[in-house]
A and B are shown apart, each in its own frame.
Chain A
Amino acid sequence: MSRGRGRGRSDVDFVLAYIDAGSGSLLIQGLIAALVAIPIFFRTQISRAIRAIRRDSAQERESAQRGG
């Protein structure tokens, strides 16, 4: 889906739109996004780990029930 750079579009086209995005806005959003992505990354990893632990213990319970 993405067009990517380098297909007849310059580096400047990359951040140009029909509205003025503002240089400062483009730069600061990169910084903010990098910062806010950190807790989101850890939250995702933690919830993945919790889901995996729950899945494992559910499987253990199931096999214990089958065994019993």
Chain B
Amino acid sequence: METVYETQRDEQGHPIQVATGKRMQFTLTYPVHTSALTDALKAALPGKVIGVNAGGVNRPVEVLLALTATDDDEPAITATVMAHDPVFIVPAKDQVLANGVDMVIVGINAPKPGAAPVTLQMAWKPGVQPAWNVAQDWAIPLTDGAGFDHMTANDRGTVAMRVKNGTNRSNEVLKIACL
């Protein structure tokens, strides 16, 4: 864990180094789901995580921390990053005709070697919030971390989908409009 400094000016205008936070870097061979990893880190270390900075496999993953983070937090941070098992949901389109024929191909990318199986939850969204309590499971078979399936619709409305048990994997909710 290293401290991050920013140069500021004192009252006399002289440059001074001010600590603005801390940082840990990890080199991973797969891209991270930045927001899911951030949520997992914030849950593990409440009040100590500023965010995550990432640039694909070509850049280290940076965990930005508050000054209150200490070396004692490193094991929890490392464990959370190492447990991160990202899942990216990639629908081919965000609309489908509600005629039972038109289809949307939904792709899944789980790039971590040995990624856990992926099951999506699909919820019909008649109101403001998707009805996750009656959501339908949709297992997507993976081959080398990639898989896809398709969906059709018979009724108009919105289908929302997310990764089941998505903590530290994916926190996104994708919506398909059925027209």
Co-complex (A, B): no
Chain A residues with CB under 8 Å of chain B are none
Chain B residues with CB under 8 Å of chain A are none
